[in-house]
Amino acid sequence: MKILLIHTKDVEVHKNKEATSNPQEFNEKIIKMEGLILVAFVSVEDQDTYDIEVISKQGADVIEKAIMSITRFPDNIRLKNDEIREYNANIEKGKIKGHPRKIKELILDQSMYQIDSVLVYPWAHLSKFLSQDSKAMDVCPKMAELLKERGIEAKYSPFGWYKSFKINCLGHELAEMYRDVKLYIQPDEHVADREFKVITAEGKVLEIEFDKDKNYKQIIGIQDKDFELFLKSELGTRRVDKGEEPTHIRVMKEFELVDFDPNTDPGNLRWYTKGIIMKNLIKQYLEDSLIDFGAILIETPIMYTVKNDKLTAQTARFPARTYWVESGKNRFLLRFAGDFLQFDMFSGMNLKPQYFPLRAYEWEQYDFRREQEGELTGLRRLRGFVMPDFHTLCKNLDSSIEEFKKQYDLDKTLMEDLGLKSYIIFRTTQNFYKKHKDWIHKLIKTEKQPALIELWQDRYYYFVLKFERAVLSAQDKSATLATIQIDVESSLEYIEQNGKKRQKYDISFVDTDGIKKHPIILHNAPAGGLERILWGLIETAEREKNERVPGFKTWLSPIQVRILPVGMEQYKYA
């Protein structure tokens, strides 16, 4: 949704003639509103009509915030002027050095920064990607109704008519504003009631406590110093100094593996020859391992439409992290994961019980997530990255748990072969943990080190269990590499969310008993994203430099043999 906001003195809208075959009812010849009016010109876009209740509320929220910005503006200026006067007085008294600042003056009289009422006006000229859904015409009336429910006088201009209008823009500091409103389907989350535990290799459960400031309190009895540092990082009390550059950035540049490129969006890197060699070696190793494990290879496009409700249900959860691509009269999202098109593909398959577990692996050459610029950190967090993505369809929950155990061992082997020491985390519900803690504890015992457990009262996302393998950096900052999730939601036809039905992928099969069923899906990022694997290799080498010579395993090294002549007479031959 695009919104252009104009603060005007009076407004008139004159009805001319019908512009569509099914216009909204327009009984008046003229809509005449007197006083200080905020006119909201609204373009409803293709993705918005997935849920007009949500987008209408978002639009009404934007208008209400604009009203508050305008009406509070004189007071904000007054407060700033008080600060300026105090600052200038301190200069005059010699308390501080500096140049006096000018007092800010309002363009108009303070009384003009008020809103008497709002006109919501459907306007097709703010976007090239307008919704063609008939529901789009209901958005402006709903926005006006929501504003009235909040005590704001509001009207809407009917959709589907040629109209002329008269406005008189007041021309003050906030008289013209533009807003881009992304459809945001906020999932139900219940993480406030989460609790953490440590499970030792012997199966002992240690409670984790926090002080009144929610800082992690050290557990007595843990001897592993690195695990203690891992806990501090995961539980939020240990932060890397933002002024200190992560070790891997220096190394990746110095050894000509990867570098930043000033000609692209931050978070998209360029790779040099030695880095490409390592990337290809990791790719081949993972692909060979997954094929040996029984996976089929697939590949899906890097962009997809917003006009498919199954896809929109997922992408609307992360609107701020989206890259858009325009193609003619359509627009597409650059994928931030391959799941959406993979699952859409699975939904069209003629699945049979004997096919399970069905393992599918995609080397996603590029995924895109537009992370906040301040969050970007070399190879650790990027906007464009490579993701080895492995999904498995399982017949039921029991078989998914058995498959989980096998993939747990697979990921453990992959991480060890790469030379990465990891710390494990299980995130799940209290109920699932209670039922399945025996096999979870059994897996932890194989690690011969403690594990972190996070427990929630309710399932708040699509997975009932999420397993992670995290690596510590040279600066004691943890980051997740390998992950496995037991997804109990994505294959369903729909789910209930915020009191509404949300469409899912409807991946199904007919079981031997003749009943239609939906498989459980395992999500697995074996060893993690490619760039983060390299991050882990470099940071681990730096972290362990006092224990061994820093470097990579021979099979991963871009230079595996060096010929060293002992004199100039051997130089040419060498």
Q: Hey, what are 316's tokens?
A: 């609307």
Q: At what angle do helices 430-445 and 397-418 cross, to 10 degrees?
A: 40
Dist CA 464 CA 260 (whole Å):
38
Dist CA 24 CA 20 (whole Å):
9
pLDDT of residue 241: 55
Q: At what angle do helices 273-293 and 397-418 cross, to 10 degrees?
A: 140
In this structure, the answer to whether residues 145 and 207 fall within a common structural domain is no
pLDDT of residue 187: 63
DSSP 8-state secondary structure symbol assigned to residue 569: G
DSSP 8-state secondary structure symbol assigned to residue 441: H
**CB 104, CB 97: distance < 8 Å:** no
CATH number of the domain enclosing 494: 3.30.930.10
Dist CA 56 CA 62 (whole Å):
10
User: In this structure, is residue 207 part of a structural domain?
Assistant: yes
In this structure, the answer to whether residues 247 and 371 fall within a common structural domain is yes
**CB 449, CB 228: distance < 8 Å:** no
Backbone angles phi, psi at 489, to 5 degrees: -125, -40
In this structure, the answer to whether residues 221 and 143 fall within a common structural domain is no
CA neighbor of 293 nearest in space, from 360, 345, 363, 389: 360
Residue-by-residue DSSP string for 242-297 = TTSPPHHHHHHHHTTSEEE-TTS-TT-EEE-HHHHHHHHHHHHHHHHHHHHHTPEE
pLDDT of residue 238: 45
Judging by DSSP bridges, how do beta strands 451-456 and 423-429 pair with one another? parallel
What does the chain come to in residues?
574
In this structure, the answer to whether residues 495 and 411 fall within a common structural domain is yes
In this structure, the answer to whether residues 92 and 162 fall within a common structural domain is yes
DSSP 8-state secondary structure symbol assigned to residue 559: -
User: In this structure, is residue 131 part of a structural domain?
Assistant: yes
CATH number of the domain enclosing 76: 3.50.80.10
CA 407 to chain centre: 25
CA 409 to chain centre: 28
Burial class (CB in 10 A: 0-12, 13-18, 19+), 553: exposed
Dist CA 267 CA 376 (whole Å):
6
Dist CA 45 CA 3 (whole Å):
11
User: In this structure, is residue 106 part of a structural domain?
Assistant: yes
- In terms of residue numbers, what domain contains 119? 2-180
User: In this structure, is residue 60 part of a structural domain?
Assistant: yes
Instruction: Report how many domains make up the chain.
Output: 2
Judging by DSSP bridges, how do beta strands 520-525 and 384-394 pair with one another? antiparallel
User: In this structure, is residue 562 part of a structural domain?
Assistant: no
pLDDT of residue 430: 95
Torsion of CA 80, 85, 91, 97, to 10 degrees: 10
HSE of 405, CA atoms in CB hemisphere, 13 A: 14
Average pLDDT for runs of 10 along the chain of length 574 = 98 95 92 97 94 95 98 96 96 93 95 97 94 94 98 96 96 97 75 83 87 77 86 72 82 96 95 96 97 97 87 75 88 90 95 97 94 90 95 98 98 96 96 96 94 91 95 94 96 84 92 96 95 96 90 89 88 88
In this structure, the answer to whether residues 209 and 167 fall within a common structural domain is no
pLDDT of residue 328: 87
Q: Hey, what are 162's tokens?
A: 């040629």
In this structure, the answer to whether residues 167 and 214 fall within a common structural domain is no
User: In this structure, is residue 417 part of a structural domain?
Assistant: yes
Dist CA 40 CA 144 (whole Å):
10
Using only the alpha carbons of the chain, give its radius of gyration.
Answer: 29
User: In this structure, is residue 563 part of a structural domain?
Assistant: no
Dist CA 561 CA 505 (whole Å):
51
- Residue 195, strand partner residues: 455
Q: Which residues of 559-571 are buried (b: 16+ CB within 10 A; e: fewer)?
A: eeeeeeeeeeeee
Dist CA 137 CA 150 (whole Å):
22
